[in-house]
Amino acid sequence: MGYIVSQSIFTVNELRIADRLDGRPRHVADLAHECSVDADALHRTLRVLAAEDLFQEGPAGTFRLAPLGELLRTDAPGSLHEFANLMAGESYRVWADSAYSVRTGKPAFDLVHGRPHFDWLAEHADAARDFNRAQASLVAQRLLPLLERDWNDVKTVVDIGGGNGTLLATLLGQEPHLEGVLFDLPHVVTEAETSLTESGVRNRTRIVGGDFFVEVPDGGDVYVLAQILHDWNEEKALGILRSCRKALPAHGRILILEQVIPEDNEPHPAKLLDLHMLVLLGGRERTETDWRSLLTDSGFRLDSVEHSGRSSLMTAVLD
Ligand SMILES: C[S@@+](CC[C@H](N)C(=O)[O-])C[C@H]1O[C@@H](n2cnc3c(N)ncnc32)[C@H](O)[C@@H]1O
């Protein structure tokens, strides 16, 4: 019955209940009135989520946020509000047909929505904006191992599939000597203008729209691939890596910021994300053995792997 919990989280997230609780307990009738929803139904929903440690029920139908529930606040450090929104949207409907993906190895997204995920996003501007925002909201948590490495010997960094520019803006903000190239689909990079300008790094950034299966911009010392290769099956991932290989100078390297699936049977979020990638895109998360062979097959050598909380940073050089 796990999806009952997920769906309840999506509902309170859409109603912004976490923001409305704002550090103090409130009566469910008061919340229901403010959100124009049914008070009894909201009470029953919050009761489910209190059992999941997101809320605490106090006396006489009052609720307050529990520490875990704070993550649904829009202004919480490491907020998961945008991410929960993303899981609730077009991808949630796709999971009803996940058995199709198991039968065929193909993404159920294409069956449910009629076309591949990124093509669908290109035709749905609001969903695309939400998708890019959700990705950007996760960047702060993923970025740490990238920020901690030594950038002194690098002049130009190219962010492949850099979305709305959040990662590049943060990195260039920390490293004033760096120049950046933001590369993504043409309709996505248009969103980056604002974030790069507001971060004060626009004058050190080149924005390039294109298709990484065709080519990626040259001129970089370092190419960052953050949450890119897991979107694709082996054949497509090899295509992206080969485009990077063509653009990379002899001294260059690629930095891959992705999940590494532990080779055991313990619970790990990457194992869930792995199935999500299958159902959404026909992609996959990879073990370290998988990463090594993917890189070898595309003319690279895995030089180092640094594991950190959510994602790992893998450095690869030309073989
Ligand atoms: C999962 S998002 C990762 C975004 C960002 N790197 C991050 O870490 O949040 C994948 C990105 O790949 C981009 N993308 C998908 N297909 C592409 C293509 N053919 N060429 C260039 N970028 C593409 C998407 O627009 C999206 O921004």
Q: What is the pLDDT of residues 266-285, one digit of tens each?
A: 999 999 999 999 999 999 99
230 is catalytic: yes
Q: What is the pLDDT of residues 228-247, one digit of tens each?
A: 999 999 999 999 999 999 99
Q: Is the CB of residue 232 below 6 angstroms from any atom belonging to ligand 1?
A: no
Q: Is the CB of residue 258 below 6 angstroms from any atom belonging to ligand 1?
A: no
pLDDT at site 140: 77
Q: Is the pLDDT of residue 15 over 90?
A: yes
pLDDT at site 240: 98
Among 133, 191, 231, residue to substitute to test ligand 1 (most atoms within 8 Å of Cβ): 231
Q: Is the pLDDT of residue 178 over 90?
A: yes
Q: Tell me how far the alpha carbon of residue 66 is from its chain's centroid.
A: 25
Q: What is the pLDDT of residues 124-140, one digit of tens each?
A: 999 999 998 898 888 87
Q: Is the pLDDT of residue 78 over 90?
A: no
Average pLDDT value for residue range 109-132:
95
Q: Is the CB of residue 212 below 6 angstroms from any atom belonging to ligand 1?
A: yes
